[in-house]
Amino acid sequence: MKENTLIIATNVNSSTLGTKDVIKIENVELSQEQMNLICLVAPEATVSLIRDYEVVQKPDFNPPQSISDISSCPNPNCISNQAEEKITSQFELVEQKPVKYACEWCKREVTGEHLIQNS
């Protein structure tokens, strides 16, 4: 397996944002799905794909419309937490910024961060 260099820099000066944090991963191209997950925890993040020192792609990415089965509902009374046979948790996007989802079963709202932390 090829080793990947991971570089994390914080408080880098940026012309538009003041300072920013940068995570650089070498030899990795994120799938659309992976970029969508970054969006859940960092809605302001931008992702650039750099090949041979040149930015070749700055894709738009958005939180997915619905997420299933990565996290359980925070509502203990929710049917997805009650059933004897496990019901797949399902969350629908209700707000882009900040990222908010609602449980498909009980409509309890959760943040994108919650979904990632409890996944």
Residue 39 or 73 having the CB closest to Zn ion: 73
Residue 14 or 68 having the CB closest to Zn ion: 68
Amino acid found at 50? I
Contact 58, 82 (CB under 8 A): no
Task: Quote the least distance from Cβ 71 to Zn ion, whole Å.
Answer: 11
Residue 61 or 105 having the CB closest to Zn ion: 105
Torsions phi, psi of 46, nearest 5?
A: -120, 150
Per CB under 5 A, residues contacting Zn ion are 73, 75, 78, 103, 105-106, 108
Per-residue tokens: 44: 């302001």
The CA–CA distances, whole Å, from 45 to 58, 60, 65, 70, 97 equal 11, 10, 18, 21, 12
Task: Quote the least distance from Cβ 21 to Zn ion, whole Å.
Answer: 33
Residue 36 or 75 having the CB closest to Zn ion: 75
